[in-house]
């Protein structure tokens, strides 16, 4: 066992790796006598892997895990969690949007008797209005529909202790939403606030598609409210239909005049019902597609090359 592990997922970050390594080392070497920096290369298309490998030759604290392809940020972090040996573990982005210097206050807070200290964004620099707004709305929605609190305005930048790491390694689901899983695990959790900086260099690896997927994973993994919404909309539509039936009879037998007209009401009800049904099918489908991937129980990722030893027996083949 060592004191501190830092998990860094890497996707096309060649322009950030050296500065990140420098800033991380400065902070972490002051905090812990024994530490490791685990870089997980998530199928980068640039020379990030070569840079990390070079670093690992110069600095024995540097470990690398090269995944067999791009599996996505959450899976890359999960691979790091499987392989890390630290008593305490930091999860941090490679683009320096999460300042390594914040690890010190986070670690101090952890030592006051917490198991999780996450970094809460006070402000976010250099990110588009749309991204900030959608993220804000998403976190508010998620906190309304889950039965336990998932902290708002936080990413995965945090420090967690061994108990939480072991807990995460037991949660084998394919569709990861780590910040939700960590909140779900519980224990004593707190936060420190920070202003999120701009990306140091390079472009975001989170396309809108990846963001929507992450959001759907978060919702489906931690809430059944969308399914309840389907049920409730079924009841509401049935109630409206019942009223319409009564109205149709009255119209036919008592208000004979102008009875044949009714094109718009038929159109409206067909379109409305079609919409409700398709949305409902879509919601159910989102849940079923996740069941579909989870029952196959495929490994979360494959590793092409690594210099880190895995002591977690459960994932050895
Ligand atoms: N990342 C990854 N795989 C991906 C996308 C991103 O490992 O498919 C890493 C990326 O290198 C960075 C972190 O995840 O260290 C956060 O990604 P990014 O900064 O692109 O997201 P944003 O901050 O724009 O939400
Ligand atoms: Mg970023």
What's the pTM value of the predicted model, to 2 decimals? Answer: 0.83
Across the chain, which distance is largest between two alpha carbons, in Å? 91
Quote the distance between the C-alpha of residue 215 and its chain's center.
Answer: 7
Q: How far is the CA of 23 from the centre of ligand 2 (A)?
A: 16
Q: Where are the beta strands (DSSP E) in 176-314?
A: 189-196, 303-306
Identify whether the C-beta of residue 157 lies closer than 8 Å to the C-beta of residue 195.
no
Q: How far is the CA of 294 from the centre of ligand 2 (A)?
A: 28
**Which atom of ligand 1 lies nearest, measured to the CA of 9?**
7
Average pLDDT over residues 244-252: 82
Which pLDDT score is estimated for 259?
A: 63
Q: How far is the CA of 204 from the centre of ligand 2 (A)?
A: 6
Q: How far is the CA of 203 from the centre of ligand 2 (A)?
A: 8
Which pLDDT score is estimated for 317?
A: 42
Ligand 1 contact via 206 beta carbon (within 6 Å):
yes
Check whether 303 has a pLDDT greater than 50: yes
Separation of first and last alpha carbons in the chain: 23
Separation between Cα atoms, residue 108 and residue 31, nearest integer Å: 9
Ligand 1 contact via 134 beta carbon (within 6 Å):
no
Q: What is the mean pLDDT of the chain?
A: 88
Ligand 1 contact via 72 beta carbon (within 6 Å):
yes
> Tens digit of pLDDT for each residue in 54-75?
999 999 999 999 999 999 999 9
Quote the distance between the C-alpha of residue 260 and its chain's center.
Answer: 55
Helix and strand numbers (H, E) in the chain are 10, 8
Transcribe 42-53 into DSSP letters.
Answer: -S-SSSHHHHHH
Separation between Cα atoms, residue 152 and residue 1, nearest integer Å: 33
Ligand with an atom nearest the CA of residue 205: 1
Name the nearest CA neighbour of 124 among 147, 93, 166: 93
Q: In this predicted structure, which of 9-13, 58-62, 151-155 has the lowest mean pLDDT? A: 151-155
Task: Count other Cβ atoms within 10 Å, centred on residue 145.
Answer: 15
The CA-atom distances, in angstroms, between 14 and each of 7, 166, 201 are 16, 31, 9
């Amino acid at each position: 066992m060592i004191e501190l592990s830092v998990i860094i997922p890497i996707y096309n970050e060649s322009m950030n790796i050296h500065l990140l390594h420098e800033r991380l080392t400065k902070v972490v070497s002051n905090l812990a006598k024994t530490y490791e920096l685990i870089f997980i290369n998530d199928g980068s298309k640039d020379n990030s892997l070569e840079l990390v490998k070079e670093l690992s030759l110069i600095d024995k604290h540097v470990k690398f895990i090269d995944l067999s392809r791009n599996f996505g940020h959450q899976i890359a972090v999960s691979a790091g969690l499987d392989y890390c040996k630290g008593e305490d573990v930091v999860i941090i982005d490679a683009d320096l949007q999460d300042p390594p210097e914040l690890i010190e206050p986070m670690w101090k807070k952890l030592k006051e008797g917490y198991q999780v200290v996450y970094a809460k964004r006070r402000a976010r620099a250099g990110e588009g209005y749309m991204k900030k707004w959608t993220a804000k709305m998403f976190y508010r929605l998620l906190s309304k529909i889950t039965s336990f609190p998932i902290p708002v305005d936080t990413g995965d930048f945090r420090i967690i202790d061994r108990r939480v790491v072991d807990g995460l390694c037991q949660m084998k689901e394919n569709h990861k939403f780590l910040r939700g899983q960590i909140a779900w695990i519980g224990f004593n959790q707190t936060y420190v606030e920070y202003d999120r900086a701009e990306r140091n260099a390079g472009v975001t690896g989170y396309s809108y598609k990846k963001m929507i997927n992450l959001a759907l994973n978060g919702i489906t993994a931690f809430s059944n409210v969308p399914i309840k919404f389907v049920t409730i909309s079924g009841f509401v539509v049935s109630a409206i239909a019942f009223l319409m039936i009564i109205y149709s009879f009255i119209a036919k037998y008592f208000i004979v005049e102008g009875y044949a007209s009714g094109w718009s009401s038929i159109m409206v009800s067909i379109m409305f019902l079609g919409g409700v049904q398709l949305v409902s099918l879509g919601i159910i489908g989102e849940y079923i597609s996740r069941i579909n991937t989870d029952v196959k129980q495929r490994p979360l990722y494959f590793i092409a090359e690594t210099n880190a030893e895995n002591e977690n027996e459960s994932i050895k083949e």
